[in-house]
Amino acid sequence: HPLNEWITPEIQDRNERILKRPPVLDIQKLHKSFEHKGKPVEVLREIDFTAYKREFICVVGPSGCGKSTLARLVAGLETIDDGQILMDGAAVNAPGPDRGMVFQSYSLFPWMTVKDNVMFGMVESGMSKLTAESEALQWIDLVGLEKFADSYPHQLSGGMKQRVAIIRALANQPKVLLMDEPFAALDPKNRLKMQQYLLEIWQNIDITIFFITHDLDEAIYLADRILVLDAHPGRVKEVVNVPLPRPREEETFLSPAF
């Protein structure tokens, strides 16, 4: 791939450092087919990929190549036909708190305030309401939404809703954050702001991000490595190391009040 020709000693060094980290998400010889009109249709064929601690991985590929299916398999929302997915060495076969998920459609609970949306998972997992509330408010502050803690999702802009969806997922302290085209519905200006928010969060907490997009520019901007899938069936075409520095890194960081 042309991008791999740009690998400087600095990038080489970074890649070697990444590969010395422990693997977090290990996808091994993964196969998946769906039934269509009574016949099996192969969607993913022999996907092999390892994501290491604190890596930012983007997955790109043409529409229908199985990107969402791959994310749903990692999330434990689909059954595995063959092969396996390991999280910290343990096989995945159901959703779990070690994997958080953010979708394009936000999927916030419309009847709950921002604060209640963010608290929800923490309370479900047994945290006291008081502690969950104080943690939720810290997350809400972190993304500059303190004035909106008691607002409802319909009162927020798309970018704000997506910030809530991200902190709701992060509040449960997952090891891997799965994001399926999370910013695809945003206008370019808000998309860039969300990308910068996400990078800032990622640089400050211990999380591996598995980010799906059909936008190669977005992938190049965000990722350490890009997993490129081929279509029909979805297969690993290549894994691209993204050159540093990030192309738009020099652009000004957002103020929390956008």
Quote the tokens at residue 87.
Answer: 């999280």
Helices and strands: H and E segment counts in the chain = 7, 10
Q: Does 213 bind ligand ADP (CB under 6 A)?
A: no
Helices 129-142 and 114-124 pack at an angle, to 10 degrees, of 130
Q: Coil, helix or strand for 239?
A: strand
**Binders of ligand ADP among 119-178, rule CB under 6 A?**
none
Stretch that binds ligand ADP, among 58-66, 148-156, 189-197, 198-206 (CB under 6 A): 58-66
Bridge pairing between strands 90-91 and 99-103: unpaired
> From ligand ADP, Mg ion, none, which one binds at residue 256 (CB under 5 to 8 Å depending on kind)?
none
Give the integer Cα–Cα distance in Å for 67 and 72. Answer: 9
Q: Quick check: 79 binds ligand ADP (CB under 6 A)?
A: no
- Among 30, 43, 102, 119, contact with ligand ADP (rule: CB under 6 A): 43
**Residue 195 binds which of ligand ADP, Mg ion, none (CB < 5-8 A, kind-dependent):** none
Residues in the chain: 258
**Partner whose binding site includes residue 102, from Mg ion, ligand ADP, none (CB under 5 to 8 Å by kind):** none
Phi/psi at 250 (5° precision): -75, -15
Which residue's entry shows tokens 């980290």? 21
Give me the 34-73 binding string for Mg ion, x by CB under 5 A, dash otherwise: ---------------------------------xx-----
Could you tell me if 75 and 242 are in contact, meaning their C-beta atoms sit under 8 angstroms apart? no
Our CB check for ligand ADP shows the closer of 14 and 72 to be: 72
- Both tokens of residue 256? 């929390």
Site membership for ligand ADP, residue 68 (CB under 6 A): yes
Candidates 56-64, 199-207, 217-225, 249-257: pick the segment binding ligand ADP (CB under 6 A). 56-64
Q: What is the 3-state secondary structure (H, E, C) of 62-119?
A: CCCCCHHHHHHHHHCCCCCCEEEEEECCEECCCCCCCEEEEECCCCCCCCCCHHHHHH
Which of these ranges, 57-65, 105-113, 121-129, 188-196, lies near ligand ADP under the rule CB under 6 A?
Answer: 57-65
> By C-beta, is 34 or 152 nearer to ligand ADP?
34
The residue number whose beta carbon is nearest to Mg ion equals 68
Sites of contact with ligand ADP (CB under 6 A): 34, 43, 61, 63-69
